Structure 1
Amino acid sequence: MEGEDKVDHVSEEEEEFSTPEHIEKKQRKGNEEDQNEGEKITLKVKQIRERPDRISPIVAYFSTSYNPCEVDPKTGENVNETPKVTVYRHKDETKKRLQVVVSPPGANVEFVGTNYTGEQAAMQTTAYALGIVNRKNRTIRILPVAHNKIIRLEPRIKTQEATEEEASGSAVVSELSIRDRLRKTNSTFGTKKAVSRDKKKRDLNVGDDAETQKFLDGKLNELDINVGALESTSSNVARNIPPYDASATTSREAYPLEKIIEKGEWSFLEDIYRLLQQETEAATDAYPVFVRNRLYKLRDIKDDMEKQRVSGTLTFLTHLIKFKDRNSMNFASAKDHRIPDIIRRKFMGMFMDPESDRMPVDKTQLLVSYALVLALHVDNFKTDPEDIAKDLRMSTVALRTHFENLGCKVSKEKTTTFATLPTPLNFPQIRRRRKSQK
């Protein structure tokens, strides 16, 4: 009897779950499967090879939340206007250098990506292709992605010349632009008498043309909006930090390690892991202070996969610090250190100026940001900056600004200073200077 009651109970649940809509959907799905089984589709595959006189398809993605194809779920229309896409190619075809520029209409920001800097400069172990299906003609065209590169688009502030060139289409806007530039130059470099005369002239001319005044008011409102967007984007550029997810709920997801160390690079980062497998204590003086002081933590890790992850991170951090020393005044400390070719070429593309073959100041700051993020990963996102400061040959006070630009909170516990990474990320806001009123 108990068994029969259980069977009846299950059947009642099945009847409740099998609503008329569910039954109809299941039948329709079964009919479609029957039709698909009876119908055979023959497709003709054509592979398009790369030609020197044509540019192959380029795959690019945005590092920010900007989505040019975003659709409003209510209306089904595109939220953003179609941006202008420009591809530049180096005159010397043997260099195979490409630059992609995406310019959203009406914005002061454009997105720029190249195939010779950043993560694209690393050796590509995987080839990519793009398949296009034409159902009408029943063909599949397979095209190679340009130079097997996936280009990351970074936000950049438009230059003054580009902004003025876009505005030159309207005579009124062009006239206002010239007037504003003269006004700005006069207020910056002119005498007090000239500034006062210009102010009086503006006060007298305001209101002469109601339509012009209305036009100016509209432009000022647009300027206020664009200034907010410009400050938000310029803060990301000025911070000069590794790829991040501002909406992440955990610290590990905020700065994903896979965005810093690519999948094909882990096999070249086994130096410290092999060091731990040795029964005898090997010499570790050549490693940075931060790494030497973390070896005890590695030996205490029981999970072998986690031990390999932390060991690889420390090895990558070692190469990063030695690369900085090799391209600075501390060359002697890194002359005997060997960096794997795949890692070295990646660093060359990310941190070196291709024209001067030197490390500019902004690239040095970017390298420091990468090193601090790796240190946070190793110390479970609560690190003492003293060790890494010695390796980077910087003061802990100077590193405090770098940590804050990463979204970290620097606090003091007793006599030790710690940098922690709370989520979601909260970056410091850019403070606008107020003009002193005379």
Structure 2
Amino acid sequence: MDSDAEDTKSQVENTEHPLGLEPLTKKAKKKKKERPPVQAKVQVVNDRPERIPPIVGYFPSGFDPQKNLDDDSESGMGSTNIKIYRNKKMPKRLQLVVSSNGSPVDFVGTSYSGEATAGQKCMYALGVFDKETHTLKVVPIAANKIFRLDPRVRGLEYSAKEPENSTVVELTAEERAEKAREATILWGTKSSIKKAKKIQALRQEGDPDSKKELDVKMKTVVVNKQALESTEAHVSRNIPPHDVSATTPERAYPLEQIIPNVEWDYLQDIYNLLQQDGADFEGYPTFIRNRVDRLKKIQDESEKRKVCCILSYINHLMKFKEQHTADRSSARAHKIPSILHHKFSAMFAVPESKWLPTEKINLLTSYILVLTLFSDRFRTSCTDIAKDLKMTFLRVRQQYESLGCKMMREGKVYYATLPVPLQFPELRQKFKRKRT
């Protein structure tokens, strides 16, 4: 038994490693552990417009360009050529071609077909470590793409379309956004994870399973006729959620139904600007600029933050309206938080048009006017908001009155107030005259 065990041990020790590596002895392992750490200096090489950053290509066929280079040099035959082509009309389109002289096969990868168009938003970089200088150079890869080099026989024509049995599936914008959110929740920062979870929670309302659960629950719900009448008025009059039985102006249009709690964290821009000396509010509408001095005088910080958030919401609504009209130059660069943009698109936009229809513009304007009442303690001037909305004073006055407001005149200034309980003007129906 002892002799057999020794033979087995010698066979194991003499067996060659499948990758040609030599087994580490105990001394070698000890030396490996005792190696001192290397203090490396990281150097990031930025992009240069006149130069193309490195392009990475891989060979799924198993072709080894390094081996071919060694074989060609030993045999004296041609070498492996690597060329990069750029489309003259579309400079962002690149093509990487690897060919070996003496072989009729080229390996081609592009930035505009195959895996490069799969919609994966990954950022790649190439790191090169110099042992002598102890420097790690990090270089971004061109267009953040890694090219798949597929074999192509010279002289044959290949279709630019993907084959029917291709495993590459183009993702829709919706699917790409969902995958990006999932990756953020797994690997993002605390703030980005919190933001992604909030967006995900808002999107669950469109989930089929959630709808089934809602249908089951709705069967046991008792219908509130008063709420139903309020909803019908909301649809027909294009006004925000309201309560006709409210005894205070604050409850007539519940603020938590207009700006949910989940959205307040994204409305801090005006409040943060107020904390800075000499802050510039030039990019904000006239209605907001005229109230900056009053904001600074508010002593209660919670009240000041609340009014600032309401004004920020008004600003985003105005910019969204301008971005969906013909003259949108002033709002083109404005960035609306994604959670608000998704909500505004669902409430006011229509999929078949990039412009807002008239009834949606009226609804959006009603939201703005209701929020102006909150910001001015339910006594607001019509002059500056009419200028921002590019509407006549008479048109703004009519819309305030359609929300249940009453107009008061002090000198030459008209103020909109909100008496309670809400009383809406009767809707007038237009009848066509019959021709006799």
Q: TM-score, normalised by structure 1?
A: 0.47
Q: Which has the larger radius of gyration?
A: 2
Bigger relative contact order, structure 1 or 2 (CA pairs below 8 A, ≥6 apart): 1
Q: TM-score, normalised by structure 2?
A: 0.48
Higher helix content, 1 or 2? 1
